[in-house]
Amino acid sequence: MKDLNINYEGKPCYKICFRPDFNDLLSVFNTEVNRKYDNICIVSDSNVAKLYLAEVTSIFEKTGSKVSSFCFEAGEASKNLDTVNQLYEHLILERYTRNSLLVALGGGVVGDLTGFAAATFLRGIDFIQIPTTLLSQVDSSVGGKTGVDFKGYKNMVGAFYMPRLVYMNLGTLNSLDNYNFACGMGEVIKSALIADDKFYQWIKDNKDAVNGKDYDALAHTVSECCKIKGHVVEIDPKEKGIRAYLNFGHTLGHAIEKLSDFKLGHGQCVSLGMVCALHLSNKLGFINESEILDVINVLKEYNLPVSVSGLKNTDILSASKSDKKMTDSKIKFIILKNIGEADSYLEFSDEDLLFAIDKVLE
């Protein structure tokens, strides 16, 4: 599997490196980043730190830089400005400078938060991504979106800020439980639905290998998703156009995630949001009922929910209207024209949205 170069504004920006372990981390870092830092802070959470922090710390200590770590409680509840402030305090006490580096070691929460801290500390310092979950490897570590939640609203405070390197140890995926693996598959299926019908068919045909965490199957899955997102981000780095297609399933998904008080995982909520979006797509005369049922079956085969209980349709609608993807007070909703082809559509009435939301309510 070849490494992937990501361009920004037509110029090489950073490389995504796919490896089975951490054995090449130091050599890749020295080659791709090629900079001497005075301080390196490895940012992780309470789950990932137990598994990989010691190994990664020992690797970066070989650079000759002073290495410290900052860990916070795992989970979406920590993805806020309070945690960022604590990280700032750590960096100040350890005398970090503009010649310092942050390393995001963990899943999407760790990557988003670390990237935002890097973008804002001293008006911007370098950071690299070492994503350890399927969701972060196929989605959140690629493309330079960073940020935190604010008063329950997803990713409301953030910045576009590119890493210097993304190093993916695919071996870390073996440590994922079924819940976190399924959450990642929500983003995998989304990527295929919006951009690649052949990849969608591959996902259908290889469910046993993927769910069984076969290395070659996982490598293909992660690589294809990174190619899709990398291509979109190169064309539209700041979401002025087609990058919005990556938000398929996210508008109502984020609303459901917020209303569940983040008890439902991001990938689970994206799955629910995609089901809603599929029905809206059908209502516009695009994909048909049999295609909707086909996608629903695929979601189920990857242990993703297609319905939810305990929520009101009007509450979900209201929460979706605070979404940052609004345009002139209208929700920028992503629909499917065909399997593998997305589009944006603004003209949905509240009745249309309630109709779609009802499709996932038990």
- Return binding residues for Zn(2+): 187, 250, 266
Which residue matches tokens 């629909």? 335
Annotated binding site for NAD(+): 108-112, 132-133, 145, 154
Binding site residues, as ranges?
A: 108-112, 132-133, 145, 154, 187, 250, 266
Task: Map residue 70 onto helix, strand or coil.
Answer: strand
Paired tokens of 273: 């949001």
Would the CA dihedral through 157, 160, 163, 164 be positive or negative? Answer: negative
Buried b (16+ CB within 10 A) or exposed e, 73-90: ebebebbbeebbeebbeb
Interatomic CA distance for residues 58 and 120, integer angstroms: 27
Q: Provide, for the chain, the percentages of residues in helix, strand and coil under a 3-state DSSP scheme, each rounded to the nearest 5.
A: 50, 20, 30
Helix (H, G, I), strand (E, B) or coil at 85: helix
Crossing angle between the packed helical segments 215-235 and 178-195, to the nearest 10 degrees: 50
